[in-house]
């Protein structure tokens, strides 16, 4: 006992709280209780935020704290600099402005969408020090370990004077961001569309919120999950038919997540037509971890879907979801509730299939949406699109996939998640989807990234669907087989034309590769009359006029 | 010439169909005969110098057929090819058709123009512009000779620029909800006058200003069709035989109609205000309502029945 | 030449043509023979919108209604149709087409129509006015165009240099008086050094009875295909005459 | 513009009696295919005009597979390409042959 003092440690244990108190005191002049006028927000931020802070400027692939983002971009970079931005979505031009101006220096994020090219440029110009590109779950998890925000700038539909927040259907990332910040002595500022006497429902309790500002205009939400059925092509319909006939049906996939592309929108739209004719209603696609895709409306209305839990909302779907509480998760106030962290967990552990698109697939089945000049981010796909080794509940689909992967009966049965990449062999501007090597490997080299950004690792992928057919990678026994299976559905890309035709035919005989005709599908039957709705207006009709499409989709 | 192999019901979307699909279902089954068909390869010789592909019909299909047994001449523009534009060849094909009807009373006395066009093809701007002028004159001359010229507007490119003027030169216009008419396209106005003047990506605004329902309500079109070949067929049949003569009285009436419109609606800033001024209580609901309900609503709108043109 | 010089040159015996509100031209000129020429038009590059169309069209209809055979001169210097949301919302296409139809009616009613392009003339406004006449003439310096090259480069997403190079060789596409003459749109280019009153009389004396612009285009080598194609269509159509 | 002419000897004539057919339209990512039954019964000629350079080998592969699969003897096939992907090309060719199988009107 001589080396250590016997009493409590003499160090201060509440430096974070003290720092918080000091910041609040400095900011008090710009607020009345929790309320801040929107004109004072830049000053407030200069008083609250300290150089080097970790800041979460909330915004994901959907809602954006756009007003707060613009104000943060206006702070004096002499006063506030070198911030470490830890947020899921880097989507607004203002997010990049922070780095351009030197207000922010380091970045950890998940998704960039429209700013992918700008991030790549900023990285090359050394304006950004990149920590990592995460999956959502991963970044949220790090909020509680080593990336806890000092300041969170969040966004809600309305607040009361106590700071209780109502996010409504757009709850999204907010609960997890605020929980991590507030309970670790950070500061939470919310922009809201309006101040009310009583919020319809408390999504975040007021004692976790320090300041509330009514923004001059409503926060921005990107209708990222709206796909106009009019733009779905015959080829996409063909791939959708293949997925249903060749995967959903044989595995009996009931619990699933869909990506946001047109191929999966096509699947949603042919459930009530093509899949109905196959007699699959009730046997497939009943439970979704999925944003409220407008293209799912016809399937819901025709009784295909039992329930849907969502990461976030979708513009224009509020009234529809309110009127369908049997399907969607809704609060006591009637409006839908979402939560990105919960839904990502659900997609990882409680679904049997993920199906989504990608830009590039290599010969091992690794996929990436990164190209030489775009840091696209991942969002949730790597979580959805991976086989969770911590899963311990069985289902028919999962066990069947496990049996196929094992090859022969084993004493210890294991399951496998179905991870399906649904692509067309060529993308925009005739760029091949199948490549010898992913662009992201070159990108990682040129930017000196420790980890080449791969969206879904090949060993997690169970199937690849293209217009040429389906490759079942679970049934491949050697890397060489796997390569030929991939080449065998790669169409007329260089990768596809370099196939070993005999090997491919052997794989086809073993049903490792299945062509449309092997599944009884004539590509000439893949036409738009199969779509339950062929336009946004028809989606509106299906919804009984409850769906309120965004203006940019209202072509009438 | 056979039609495409794709199944295409009379209920398929007119908006999304190709010009050939529209013709096949608009006319009596199997009745269409094409003049200067693709096998004659009457293509644009000019596009290659812009490194652009030509089309075997130059995006203009002309011919004859029957509509419920009545012989008609038809022309259909392919809006997906170069925006359905008027150019040297495409313009001359239409001109030849209309002049033939004008000059030969033994040819069908009705011409249906299935317009789907952004206007003049810039790569052949002078030839295209002049072709539009020639077509407008030929339409007037054909009408004066007793030919009914009916424009059908409901394609992806709408009827803009020269096509907008041609539509308004016809005896009558049938439009669908997705159909649009105008002169300068929203993108061009936005480019020249700024996004504040016209945000071309705001489709609700674009359709409010140029779309079929607005046009039908203000009398910019004489009949409203649902977005199907069957409905266009029905609306066209109802108009055939009712064409106004091309004479002073008609144009006097059109002058009064157009002056009256400016008087009534000239102060409106938005389409919704215009609809309100016309007595539509809830413009948003009227935009979303089913076609038959909208048709019933139009029947009560003053001026929408004035078809002087 | 300025508008005043042009009008003075055309009507040495006098005229009362003035540029009124909206830069619209209305009035009457006197020919050497003493008979009238009715004049309408648009000046100073003013864009033509719905508010401009109505008075012009009304005047044309009045002339047609009044009878007689006074020629009409349509004098244009306009940058094109008005580009405005309001005009489009009210149906500008109908207004422009209406003016064209009124001019074509006037011609059919016995009033020969001459278009005179002395400044700019573009797109929809061109179609509604000068291109809806029996014969279109121009003065050197006129700049008829569907669209200028920089705008065209924006719309077509082609490089301006490429368009400029192509413009030198392709009359079907290049903006300007020469091209418009070659394709047959402009029948004659008057000589400003010679008396305009004489030239308008010559033009009036040779007004074609029907549309000869496609033939002119073929003759001048600016539009080689149009006449043949139109003829082929008509020829094939004639096989489907009712008997 | 690139122009590519291919000739094949086929196993036999294409079924059907239609003299000609046209499928597809020239648009971005699309193409039109004109089929005319004008050649000898075991001959097939394909002519492609495309603004996209450098895809000769892909065109040859797509067309060869198509000829192998359908035996379109007697057909002169002319393509105006708007930059279509190979899968779209293959689909249009198949649609064209199907259309030619119908009786001519």
C residues 39-78 lying closer than 8 A (beta carbon) to B: 50-51, 53-54, 57-58, 61, 64-65
Please indicate if any CB of chain B lies within 8 Å of the CB of C157.
no
Residue B4 has pLDDT above 80, yes or no: no
* Pairing, β C143-145 against β C120-122: parallel
CB D48 within 8 A of CB D59: yes
What is the band of D104 on the pLDDT scale with cuts at 50, 70, 90?
A: low
Q: Rounded mean pLDDT of B37-56?
A: 96
Task: For chain A, list the contacting chains (3+ Cβ pairs, <8 Å).
Answer: B, D
What CATH number labels A352-514?
3.40.1080
Whole-number Å distance between alpha carbons of B160 and B181: 6
Instruction: Sort out which chain B residues have CB atoms less than 8 A from C243's CB and list them.
Output: 106
Which pLDDT belongs to residue B5?
31
* Pairing, β A418-422 against β B33-35: unpaired
Q: How many CA atoms lie within 13 A of A390 on its CB side?
A: 6
Task: Determine the residue of chain B that is closest to D29 in CA distance.
Answer: B80
Tell if the CB–CB gap between D88 and A468 is shorter than 8 Å.
no
Which of D31, D61, D86, D95 has the highest number of chain A CBs within 10 A, making it the mutation to test binding with A?
A: D86
CB B258 within 8 A of CB B266: no
Instruction: Sort out which chain D residues have CB atoms less than 8 A from B78's CB and list them.
Output: 25
Tell if the CB–CB gap between C213 and B133 is shorter than 8 Å.
yes
DSSP letters, A371-393, are BTTB--B-BTHHHHTS--TT---
Q: Rounded mean pLDDT of C155-180?
A: 88
Whole-number Å distance between alpha carbons of C47 and C119: 12
**Three-class DSSP labels, B55-116:** CCCCCEEEEEEEECCEEEEEEEECCCCHHHCECHHHHHHHHHHHHHHHHCCCCCCEEEEEEC
φ, ψ of residue A392 in degrees (nearest 5): -135, 15
C residues 84-113 lying closer than 8 A (beta carbon) to B: 84-98, 100-102, 104-105, 108-109
What is the band of B2 on the pLDDT scale with cuts at 50, 70, 90?
A: very low
Give strand pairing partners of A537.
none
CB A108 within 8 A of CB A84: yes
Which pLDDT belongs to residue A406?
94
Q: Which domain holds residue D14?
A: 2-101
Q: Rounded mean pLDDT of C179-197?
A: 96
Please indicate if any CB of chain D lies within 8 Å of the CB of A425.
yes
φ, ψ of residue A154 in degrees (nearest 5): -115, 180
**Three-class DSSP labels, C3-28:** HHHHHHHHCCCCECCEECHHHEEEEE
B130-152: per-residue pLDDT in tens? 999 999 999 999 999 999 999 99
Terminal C-alpha separation, chain C: 57
Which pLDDT belongs to residue A5?
57
Give kind and range of the element (H or E) at residue C121: strand C120-122
Tell if the CB–CB gap between A554 and B204 is shorter than 8 Å.
yes
φ, ψ of residue B159 in degrees (nearest 5): -140, 95
B170-206: per-residue pLDDT in tens? 999 999 999 999 999 998 899 889 999 999 999 999 9
Å between C12 CA and nearest CA of chain B: 32
Instruction: Sort out which chain D residues have CB atoms less than 8 A from B82's CB and list them.
Output: 26
Contact: chain A with chain C (3+ CB pairs below 8 Å): no
Facing B53 at nearest CB: one of D26, D98, D100 = D26
Whole-number Å distance between alpha carbons of A276 and A272: 5
Q: Which domain holds residue B119?
A: 19-299
pTM above 0.90, yes or no: yes
Terminal C-alpha separation, chain D: 34
Whole-number Å distance between alpha carbons of D102 and D105: 9
Q: Is the dihedral of CA A421, A423, A427, A428 positive or negative?
A: negative
Domain A17-219 has CATH 3.40.1080.10: yes
Task: Determine the residue of chain A that is closest to B12 in CA distance.
Answer: A529
Please indicate if any CB of chain C lies within 8 Å of the CB of B39.
no
φ, ψ of residue A230 in degrees (nearest 5): -65, -20
- What is the number of other CB atoms lying within 10 angstroms of the CB of residue A408? 5
Facing B192 at nearest CB: one of C83, C95, C232 = C83
Terminal C-alpha separation, chain A: 82
Establish if B304 belongs to a structural domain.
no
Residue D105 has pLDDT above 50, yes or no: no
Whole-number Å distance between alpha carbons of D57 and D4: 10
Which pLDDT belongs to residue D103?
60
Tell if the CB–CB gap between A537 and B177 is shorter than 8 Å.
yes
Which pLDDT belongs to residue C243?
63
Nearest by Cα to B3 from B229, B233, B235, B239: B229
Whole-number Å distance between alpha carbons of B60 and B86: 9
Task: Determine the residue of chain B that is closest to C54 in CA distance.
Answer: B259
- Give me the CATH number covering residue B60: 3.90.226.10
- Give me the CATH number covering residue D87: 3.30.230
Give Dmax (Cα) for chain C: 58
Tell if the CB–CB gap between D87 and A430 is shorter than 8 Å.
no
Q: How many CA atoms lie within 13 A of D61 on its CB side?
A: 15
Give Dmax (Cα) for chain A: 86
Whole-number Å distance between alpha carbons of B49 and C162: 10
Task: Determine the residue of chain A that is closest to B13 in CA distance.
Answer: A534
User: C14-45 b/e with 16+ CB inside 10 Å = b?
Assistant: ebebebeebbbbbbbbbbeeeebbbbbbbbeb
Please indicate if any CB of chain B lies within 8 Å of the CB of D57.
no
Average pLDDT over chain A, rounded to an integer: 95
Facing C98 at nearest CB: one of B42, B254, B268 = B254
Decide: helix, strand or coil at residue C169. Answer: coil
D5-62: per-residue pLDDT in tens? 999 999 999 999 999 999 999 999 999 999 999 999 999 999 999 999 999 999 999 9
D residues 5-44 lying closer than 8 A (beta carbon) to A: none
> Angle CA(A517)–CA(A518)–CA(A519) in degrees, nearest 5?
85
Instruction: Sort out which chain C residues have CB atoms less than 8 A from B218's CB and list them.
Output: 90-91
Decide: helix, strand or coil at residue D18. Answer: coil
Q: Rounded mean pLDDT of B39-61?
A: 96
Q: Which CATH number fits domain C3-139+190-211: 1.20.1290.10, 3.50.50.60, 2.30.30.280, 3.90.226.10?
A: 3.90.226.10
Give kind and range of the element (H or E) at residue B188: helix B186-193
Facing A552 at nearest CB: one of B8, B16, B201 = B201
φ, ψ of residue A399 in degrees (nearest 5): -70, -40
Grouped pLDDT means (10 residues each) for chain A, 556 residues: 64 94 96 96 97 94 95 97 96 95 96 91 93 95 98 98 96 96 98 98 97 97 94 96 98 97 97 98 98 98 98 96 98 96 97 96 95 85 95 97 92 95 94 95 88 94 98 97 98 97 98 98 93 95 96 92
Quote the strand ranges of chain B, DSSP E. 33-35, 60-67, 70-77, 110-115, 148-153, 172-176, 223-225
Whole-number Å distance between alpha carbons of A313 and A290: 10
Q: What ipTM was predicted for this assembly?
A: 0.91
Q: Is B299 exposed, middle or buried (0-12, 13-18, 19+ CB in 10 A)?
A: exposed
Q: Rounded mean pLDDT of B210-222?
A: 96
Whole-number Å distance between alpha carbons of B153 and B181: 8
Number of domains in chain B: 1
State CA A486 to chain mean position distance.
26
Contacts of B14 (CB under 8 A, 6+ apart): B22, B154, B155, B176, B178, B225, B227, B228, B229, B231, B232
Whole-number Å distance between alpha carbons of A118 and A93: 9
Please indicate if any CB of chain B lies within 8 Å of the CB of A231.
no
Å between D85 CA and nearest CA of chain A: 6
Please indicate if any CB of chain B lies within 8 Å of the CB of C185.
yes
Establish if B14 belongs to a structural domain.
no
Q: Rounded mean pLDDT of C32-58?
A: 96
């Amino acid at each position: 006992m001589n080396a250590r003092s016997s009493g409590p440690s003499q160090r201060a244990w509440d430096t974070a709280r003290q720092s918080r108190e000091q910041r609040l005191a400095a900011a008090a002049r710009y607020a009345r209780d929790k309320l801040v006028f929107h004109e004072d927000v830049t000053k407030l931020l200069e008083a609250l935020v300290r150089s080097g802070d970790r800041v979460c400027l909330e915004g994901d692939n959907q809602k954006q704290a756009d007003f707060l983002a613009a104000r943060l971009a206006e702070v004096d970079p002499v006063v506030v600099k070198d911030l470490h931005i830890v947020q899921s979505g880097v989507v607004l031009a203002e997010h990049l402005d922070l780095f351009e101006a030197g207000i922010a220096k380091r970045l950890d994020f998940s998704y960039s969408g429209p700013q992918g090219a700008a991030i790549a440029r900023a990285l090359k110009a050394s304006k950004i020090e990149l920590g990592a590109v995460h999956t959502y779950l991963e970044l949220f998890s790090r909020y509680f370990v080593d990336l806890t925000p000092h300041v969170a700038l969040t966004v809600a539909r309305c607040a009361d004077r106590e700071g209780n927040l109502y996010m409504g259907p757009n709850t999204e990332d907010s609960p997890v961001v605020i929980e991590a910040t507030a309970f670790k002595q950070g500061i939470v500022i919310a922009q809201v569309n309006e101040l009310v006497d009583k919020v319809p429902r408390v999504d975040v309790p007021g004692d976790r919120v320090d300041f509330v500002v009514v923004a001059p205009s409503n926060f921005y939400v990107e209708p990222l999950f709206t796909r106009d059925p009019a733009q779905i092509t015959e080829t996409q319909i063909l791939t959708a038919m293949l997925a249903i006939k060749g995967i959903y049906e044989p595995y009996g996939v009931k619990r699933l997540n869909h990506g946001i592309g047109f191929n999966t929108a096509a699947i949603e739209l042919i459930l009530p037509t093509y899949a109905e004719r196959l007699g699959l209603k009730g046997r497939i696609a009943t439970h979704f971890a999925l944003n409220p895709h407008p293209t799912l409306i016809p399937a819901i209305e025709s009784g295909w879907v039992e329930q849907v839990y969502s990461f976030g909302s979708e513009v224009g779907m509020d009234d529809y979801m309110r009127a369908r509480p049997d399907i969607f998760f809704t609060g006591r106030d009637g409006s839908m509730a979402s939560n990105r962290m919960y839904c990502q967990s659900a997609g990882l552990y409680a679904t049997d299939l993920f199906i989504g698109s990608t830009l590039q697939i290599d010969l091992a089945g690794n996929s990436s949406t990164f190209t030489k000049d775009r840091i696209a981010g991942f969002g949730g796909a790597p979580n959805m699109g991976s086989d969770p080794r911590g899963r311990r509940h069985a289902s028919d689909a999962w066990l069947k996939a496990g049996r196929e992967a094992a090859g022969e009966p084993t004493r210890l049965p294991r399951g496998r998640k179905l991870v399906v990449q649904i692509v067309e062999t060529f993308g925009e501007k005739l760029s091949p989807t199948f490549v010898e090597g992913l662009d992201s490997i070159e990108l990682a080299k040129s930017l000196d990234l420790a980890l080449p950004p791969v969206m879904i690792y090949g060993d997690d992928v169970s199937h690849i669907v293209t217009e040429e057919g389906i490759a079942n990678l679970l049934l491949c026994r050697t890397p060489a087989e796997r390569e030929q299976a991939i080449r065998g559905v790669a169409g007329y890309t260089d990768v596809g034309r370099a196939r070993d035709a005999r090997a491919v035919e052997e794989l086809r005989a073993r049903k490792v590769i299945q062509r449309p005709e092997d599944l009884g599908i004539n590509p000439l039957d893949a036409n738009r009359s199969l779509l339950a709705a062929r336009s946004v207006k028809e989606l509106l009709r299906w919804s009984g006029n409850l769906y309120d499409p965004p203006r940019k989709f209202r072509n009438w | 010439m056979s039609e495409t192999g794709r199944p295409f019901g009379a209920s398929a979307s007119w908006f999304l169909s190709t010009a050939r699909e529209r013709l096949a279902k608009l006319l009596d089954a199997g009745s269409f005969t094409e003049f200067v068909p693709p096998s004659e390869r009457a293509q644009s010789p000019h596009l290659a110098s812009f490194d652009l592909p030509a089309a075997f019909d130059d995006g203009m299909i002309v011919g004859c057929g029957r509509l419920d047994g009545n012989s008609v001449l038809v022309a259909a523009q392919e809006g997906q090819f170069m925006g359905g534009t008027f150019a040297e060849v495409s313009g001359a094909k239409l001109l030849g058709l209309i002049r033939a009807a004008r000059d030969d009373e033994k040819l069908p006395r009705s011409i249906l123009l299935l317009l789907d066009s952004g206007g003049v093809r810039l790569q052949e701007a002078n030839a295209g512009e002049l072709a539009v002028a020639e077509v407008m004159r030929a339409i007037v001359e054909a009408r004066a000779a007793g030919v009914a010229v009916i424009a059908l507007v409901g394609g992806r490119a709408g009827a803009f620029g020269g096509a907008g003027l041609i539509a308004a030169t016809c005896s009558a216009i049938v439009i669908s909800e997705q159909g649009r008419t105008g002169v300068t396209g929203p993108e061009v106005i936005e480019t020249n006058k700024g996004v504040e003047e016209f945000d071309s990506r705001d489709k609700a605004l674009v359709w409010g200003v140029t779309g079929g329902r607005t046009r039908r309500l203000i009398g910019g079109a004489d009949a409203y069709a649902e977005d199907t070949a069957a409905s266009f067929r029905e609306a066209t049949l109802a108009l055939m035989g009712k064409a106004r003569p091309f004479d002073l009285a008609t144009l006097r009436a059109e002058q009064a109609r157009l002056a009256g419109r400016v008087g009534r609606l000239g102060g409106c800033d938005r389409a919704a205000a215009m609809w309100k001024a016309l007595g539509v209580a809830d413009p948003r609901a009227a935009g979303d309502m089913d076609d038959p309900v909208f048709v019933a609503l139009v029947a009560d709108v003053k001026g929408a029945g004035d078809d002087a043109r | 030449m300025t508008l005043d010089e042009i009008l003075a040159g055309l009507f040495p015996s006098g005229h009362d043509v003035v540029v009124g509100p909206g830069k619209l031209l209305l009035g009457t000129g006197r020919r050497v023979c003493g008979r009238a020429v009715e004049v309408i038009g648009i000046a100073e590059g003013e864009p033509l919108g719905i508010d401009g169309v109505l008075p012009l069209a009304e005047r044309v209809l009045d002339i047609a209604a009044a009878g007689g055979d006074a020629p009409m001169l349509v004098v244009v210097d306009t940058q094109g149709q008005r580009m405005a949301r309001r005009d489009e919302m009210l149906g500008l296409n109908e207004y422009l087409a209406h003016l064209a139809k009124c001019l074509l009616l006037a011609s059919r009613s016995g009033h020969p129509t001459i278009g005179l392009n002395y400044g700019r003339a573009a797109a929809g406004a061109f179609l509604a006015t000068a291109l809806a006449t029996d014969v279109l003439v121009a003065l050197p310096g006129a700049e008829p165009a569907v669209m200028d090259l920089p705008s065209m480069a924006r719309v077509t997403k082609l490089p301006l240099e490429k368009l400029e190079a192509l413009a030198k060789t392709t009359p079907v596409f290049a903006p300007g008086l020469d091209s418009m003459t070659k394709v047959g749109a402009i029948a004659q280019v008057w000589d400003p050094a010679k008396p305009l009153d004489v030239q308008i009389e010559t033009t009036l004396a040779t007004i074609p009875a029907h549309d000869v612009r496609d033939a002119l285009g073929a003759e001048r080598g600016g539009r080689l295909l149009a006449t043949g194609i139109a003829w082929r269509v008509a020829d094939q159509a004639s096989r489907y005459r009712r008997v | 513009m690139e122009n590519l002419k291919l000739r094949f000897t086929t196993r036999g004539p294409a079924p059907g009696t239609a003299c000609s057919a046209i499928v597809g339209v020239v648009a971005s990512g699309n193409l039109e295919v004109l089929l005319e039954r004008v050649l000898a019964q075991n001959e097939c000629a394909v002519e492609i005009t495309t603004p996209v350079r450098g895809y000769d080998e892909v065109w040859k592969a797509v067309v060869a597979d198509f000829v192998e699969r359908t035996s379109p003897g007697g057909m002169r096939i002319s393509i105006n390409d708007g930059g279509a992907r190979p899968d779209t090309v293959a689909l249009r060719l198949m649609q064209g042959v199907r259309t030619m199988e119908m009786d001519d009107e």
